[in-house]
Structure 1
Amino acid sequence: MLAITVDDKAFRSSLDAIYRGMSDLTPVMQSIGMELESRISGRFESRTDPSGNAWSPWAQSTVDNYPEDGNRRLLDRYGDMLSSLSHQADATSVRVGFGQPYAAFHEWGTKHMPRRGLLFADPDAGTLSPDDEAAVLDILDVWLSDLGN
């Protein structure tokens, strides 16, 4: 299994404050996982990476050799990768990703295929895009405000 950790510096103080009020962050992590899963799923429709950059089109060799039974959509030949998108939350973390191992090739790109990112703005650094980070911070703000009431 491939595991990548997100740099959580931007979230650490909010998570610590919520943890002091709740001790079990599973509902918070579940909210974050659902939001990120929704945002990643939307990228299959927009055909853009987390930073909003359009995915590179197929190479001509891919177009020429594409199977007749595929749906002819970029990163969605049979729907297997998108349908494997999921998240798992527990008291201290959330994991969001794909059940298909070839998703990593799309996230990083290869020698013969450009990167078509889905999860990270920078997969090597483990950073979310500014929009994804803001969405997580918004969720944390809601949980913090609920604790204050």
Structure 2
Amino acid sequence: MAERFESKRDPNDVPWVDLKAMTLKAKKGRGDTLYETGEMKDSLSWRQGDGFVEIGFGKRYAAFHEWGSKRMKRRGLPHGRGEDGSAAAKAQAA
């Protein structure tokens, strides 16, 4: 997951959508795409069991970044495909 923040790419290797001018103005030079305070990134957690892995964030607003909203395009953090939430082929092979 740290790779996503460093490369600014989703699991399918597609670059994250650039921030809108309005967002850049509101940030006033603080932070970057998907990173302002580090709280969302720091809230990342995961667990594994027999035949499964769950990945999630402890911040409710992470869902907007993963799935998008009316005002913001999705960034795609753990999931590669927003349609069904499945992992990208690259992530599944890891």
TM-score if structure 2 supplies the norm length? 0.89
1:43 and 2:8 equivalent?
no
Aligned to 2:59, the other structure's residue is in SS state coil
Query: Counterpart of 2:25 in 1: which secondary structure?
Result: helix
Q: Name 2:42's counterpart in structure 1.
A: 83
How many residues were matched structurally?
94
Partner SS, residue 64 of structure 1: helix
For 2:40 and 2:65, the matched residues in 1 are separated by 10
Matched, 1:121 2:44: no
Q: Structure 1 or 2: larger strand share?
A: 2
Q: Which structure 1 residue ranges, 5 or more long, are not aligned?
A: 1-39, 136-149
* Superposition CA RMSD, Å: 1.6
Q: Aligned partners of 1:105 and 1:122: how far apart in 2?
A: 14
Q: Within 1, Cα distance between the matches of 2:72 and 2:58?
A: 20
Question: Residue 19 of structure 1 aligns with which residue?
Answer: none
Residue in 2 that maps onto 1:99: 58
**Matching residue of 1:65:** 26
Q: How far apart are the structure 2 equivalents of 1:83 and 1:67? A: 22
Q: Any unmatched runs of 5+ in structure 2?
A: none
Cα deviation, residue 50, structure 1: 0.8
CA offset digits 1:104-142 (Å, max 9, x no partner): 00011111111100011113313111111111xxxxxxx
TM-score when normalising by structure 1: 0.58
**Greater RCO, CA 8 A, separation 6+:** 1
Call closer, same or farther: CA 1:114–1:134 in 2, change over 3 Å. same
Q: Name the CA distance, whole Å, in 2 between partners of 1:94 and 1:134.
A: 13
Structure having the larger proportion of residues in helix = 1
1:67 CA drift (Å):
4.7
